[in-house]
Amino acid sequence: MLSKIQHPNIISLLGCSSNGDTRFIVYELMQNGSLETQLHGPSHGSALTWNMRMNIALDTARGLEYLHEICNPTVIHRDLKSSNILLDANFNAKLCDFGFAIADGSRQE
């Protein structure tokens, strides 16, 4: 499912591979880790200004809007939490971890 989704606020799947029983999934590098780590890690959120927090919230909303309104079929993430929002070098937010996601094929266009 994720290999077909292209949006600036959704993590990009770069590739996958397997070696025997071991499987690998390769995503783009997100230098600032998860929102959870930024909020509850050693810095306790001090690295995030209110403006940055608002931009992270907007990026998250844009990613969800894309999944819910533009994707066909609609994708429901079902596991949105701060650890599933990753931050790139510029603190742009991207949704990740689509392990519980479902595609809703009932939407007709």
Q: Is the pLDDT of residue 105 over 80?
A: no
**63 belongs to a structural domain:** yes
Q: Tell me, what's the pLDDT at 81?
A: 98
CATH number, domain with residue 29: 1.10.510.10
**32 belongs to a structural domain:** yes
**92 belongs to a structural domain:** yes
Domain span at residue 39? Answer: 2-104
User: Would you name the residues annotated as active-site residues?
Assistant: 79
**21 belongs to a structural domain:** yes
| Residue 20: how many other CB atoms lie within 10 Å | 5
Distance, in Å, from the CA atom of 107 to the CA atom of 71, rounded to the nearest integer, reads 10
Q: Tell me, what's the pLDDT at 3?
A: 77
Amino acid (1-letter code) at residue 22 = T
pLDDT digits (tens, 9 = 90+) for 43-99: 776 889 999 999 999 999 999 999 999 999 999 999 999 999 999 999 999 999 999
**109 belongs to a structural domain:** no
**81 belongs to a structural domain:** yes
Q: Domains in the chain: how many in total?
A: 1
pLDDT digits (tens, 9 = 90+) for 1-44: 677 899 999 999 999 999 999 999 999 999 999 999 999 988 77
**70 belongs to a structural domain:** yes
Locate 17 and state its tokens.
């591979």
